[in-house]
């Protein structure tokens, strides 16, 4: 058996290492000119007017909440199938979370599941709706935005899975991150993501005032008043240390230059998986994306009918591990986490539960060999006894 295949991993090449080494020899370890250079390159790539580089993806979401003025007495709506951070950011700001259900085949928040969540929010003040482009497939942003606006809320796209994805609404193609429908879009550069800096994140927005606010909140809320002496700073509001080091931004710039290649590779590996998995249908299907979404998949999530295969997910995960294949479950529905059950009781979200019952993420990352998808699918077929 050749090497172990994790479900995801970074692609770090010699020129990435050289870029970091060069940054280490420069004057700044923390905030220097490379931070702004990374922000500029990133916002140009996704087509947004402003980008703010931050210490991690969770911090981007927290900054977005505070910049929008979300606080106590407010409600934010997050899908239950996501990473914890999507919901937690509302709680950091003092707001309450109403969990939206998801479509069981795509894992995405939809207009129907948002309508249901808005109804459950009742007459409370909904300030932000946080669609998650799960796996890389893009939510129905025009419809979600119209519904959020009607409720007096804005969209904050939690988009770490979808860097490089494009959605076509009407005749317009929108790269994820262009914020055509949202106040902010948020990205993470955690190693399994499409672009890796280790820890790191980016907020994009087209609103200059929101950008300025997020930027100052990233550095303790400090601003330099125009015309004042060079040492003068003021703190008109309470901020945080959510800075990202120059060194990591050097890695980010180097990685961003390869984004198109990474995305292409993810797309061709996905196409290979699609062909190889077809004979295992209906026992195994890939999660289904909506028609407007052209994803750069971050996660290759299969939906498996374990019961029909007369097995369990635990047994399949163990068998795959023994065959050298890593898997992961994205995600345990957040509304079922003890913290949220203690706070809100257990909401009835059948789509999220159905998704959780069937999902299993298989290896997908650019450095996989051409023959690896075949190895994974053969191992999966063995694990399912088909």
Ligand X SMILES: Cc1ncc(COP(=O)(O)O)c(C=O)c1O
Q: CB of 108 within 8 A of CB of 356?
A: no
The residues, ordered by sequence, that sit 6+ positions from 31 with a Cβ below 8 Å of its Cβ are 219, 243, 245, 246
Q: How far is the CB of 360 from ligand X (least distance, A)?
A: 17
Q: How far is the CB of 86 from ligand X (least distance, A)?
A: 5
Q: How far is the CB of 386 from ligand X (least distance, A)?
A: 31
How far is 361 from 355, CA to CA, in rounded Å? 12
Instruction: Decide: is 82 part of the binding site for ligand X (CB under 6 A).
Output: yes
Q: Which residues from 88-117 bind ligand X, rule CB under 6 A?
A: none
Instruction: Decide: is 79 part of the binding site for ligand X (CB under 6 A).
Output: no
What Rg, from alpha-carbon coordinates, does the chain have?
Answer: 21
Instruction: Decide: is 254 part of the binding site for ligand X (CB under 6 A).
Output: no
Q: CB of 301 within 8 A of CB of 107?
A: yes
Q: How far is the CB of 24 from ligand X (least distance, A)?
A: 22
Instruction: Decide: is 292 part of the binding site for ligand X (CB under 6 A).
Output: no
Q: How far is the CB of 95 from ligand X (least distance, A)?
A: 17
**324 class by beta-carbon count within 10 Å (0-12 exposed, 13-18 middle, 19+ buried):** middle
From the list 43-51, 80-88, 173-181, 269-277, the region that binds ligand X by CB under 6 A is 80-88
Q: Which one, of 190, 253, 225, lies nearest residue 43 by Cα?
A: 253
From 104, 131, 175, 201, residue interacting with ligand X (rule: CB under 6 A): 201
Of 86 and 254, which CB lies nearer to ligand X in the complex structure? 86
Of 132 and 253, which CB lies nearer to ligand X in the complex structure? 132
Q: How far is CA 221 from CA 10, 33, 215, 281, in A?
A: 33, 20, 8, 53
* Residue nearest ligand X, CB atom distance: 57
Q: Exactly one of 45, 145, 193, 213 is catalytic; which is it?
A: 193
How far is 339 from 179, CA to CA, in rounded Å? 31
Of 142 and 198, which CB lies nearer to ligand X in the complex structure? 198
Q: Which one, of 66, 44, 27, lies nearest residue 216 by Cα?
A: 66
What single DSSP character describes residue 32?
S
Kindly report the number of other CB atoms within 10 A of residue 373's CB atom: 25
Asked about 145 being catalytic, the answer comes back as: no
How far is 386 from 380, CA to CA, in rounded Å? 9
Instruction: Decide: is 83 part of the binding site for ligand X (CB under 6 A).
Output: yes
Q: Which one, of 139, 172, 365, 363, lies nearest residue 258 by Cα?
A: 365
Q: How far is the CB of 193 from ligand X (least distance, A)?
A: 7
How far is 229 from 169, CA to CA, in rounded Å? 49
Of 83 and 292, which CB lies nearer to ligand X in the complex structure? 83
Q: How far is the CB of 57 from ligand X (least distance, A)?
A: 2
From the list 52-60, 232-240, 253-261, 276-284, the region that binds ligand X by CB under 6 A is 52-60
From 11, 58, 113, 301, residue interacting with ligand X (rule: CB under 6 A): 58
Q: How many of the chain's residues bind ligand X (CB under 6 A)?
A: 14
From the list 3-11, 25-33, 158-166, 218-226, the region that binds ligand X by CB under 6 A is 158-166
Whose structure tokens read 């796209």? 157
From 10, 11, 80, 86, residue interacting with ligand X (rule: CB under 6 A): 86
Q: How far is CA 5 from CA 38, 68, 197, in A?
A: 31, 41, 21
Q: How far is the CB of 108 from ligand X (least distance, A)?
A: 12
Q: What is the 3-state secondary structure (H, E, C) of 134-175?
A: HHHCCCCHHHHHHHHHHCCCEEEEECCCCCCCEEEECCEEEE
Per-residue contact string for residues 159-178; x = within reach of ligand X by CB under 6 A: -xx-----------------
How far is 103 from 120, CA to CA, in rounded Å? 18
From 132, 214, 283, 377, residue interacting with ligand X (rule: CB under 6 A): 132
- Catalog residues that contact ligand X under the rule CB under 6 A: 56-58, 82-83, 85-86, 132, 158, 160-161, 188, 190, 201
Query: Looking at the annotation, which residues are catalytic?
Result: 193
């Amino acid at each position: 058996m050749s090497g172990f295949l994790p479900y995801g991993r970074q692609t770090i090449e010699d020129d990435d290492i050289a870029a970091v080494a060069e940054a280490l020899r420069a004057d700044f370890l923390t905030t220097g000119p490379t931070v702004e250079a990374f922000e500029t390159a990133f916002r140009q790539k996704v087509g947004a007017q402003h980008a703010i580089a931050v210490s991690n993806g969770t911090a981007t979401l927290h900054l977005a909440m505070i910049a929008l003025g979300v606080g106590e007495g407010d409600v934010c709506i997050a899908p239950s199938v996501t990473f914890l951070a999507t919901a937690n950011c509302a709680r950091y700001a003092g707001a309450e979370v109403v969990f939206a259900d998801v479509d069981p085949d795509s894992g995405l928040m939809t207009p129907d599941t948002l309508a249901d969540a808005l109804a459950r929010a009742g007459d409370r003040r909904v300030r932000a709706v946080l669609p998650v482009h799960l796996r890389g497939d893009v939510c129905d942003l025009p419809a979600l935005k119209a519904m959020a606006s009607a409720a007096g809320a804005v969209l904050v796209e939690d988009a770490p899975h979808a860097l490089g994805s494009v959605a076509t609404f009407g005749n317009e193609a929108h790269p994820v991150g262009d914020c055509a429908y949202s106040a902010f879009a948020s990205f993470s550069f955690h190693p399994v993501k499409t672009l890796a800096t280790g820890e790191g994140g980016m907020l994009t927005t087209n609103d200059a005032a929101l950008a300025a606010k997020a930027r100052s909140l990233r550095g303790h809320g400090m601003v330099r008043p125009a015309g004042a002496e060079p040492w003068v700073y003021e703190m008109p509001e309470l901020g945080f240390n959510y800075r990202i080091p120059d060194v990591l931004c050097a890695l980010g710039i180097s990685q961003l230059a390869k984004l198109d290649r990474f995305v292409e590779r993810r797309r061709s590996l996905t196409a290979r998986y699609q062909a190889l998995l077809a004979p295992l249908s209906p026992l195994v299907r890939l999660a289904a994306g909506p028609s407007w979404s052209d994803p750069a998949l971050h996660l290759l999530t299969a939906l498996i009918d374990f019961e029909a295969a007369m097995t369990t997910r635990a047994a399949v995960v163990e068998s795959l591990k023994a065959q050298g294949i890593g898997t992961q479950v994205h995600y345990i529905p957040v509304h079922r986490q003890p913290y949220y059950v203690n706070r809100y009781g257990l909401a009835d979200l059948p789509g999220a539960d159905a998704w959780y019952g069937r999902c299993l993420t298989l290896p997908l990352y650019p450095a996989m060999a051409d023959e690896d998808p075949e190895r994974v699918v053969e191992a999966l077929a063995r694990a399912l006894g088909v």
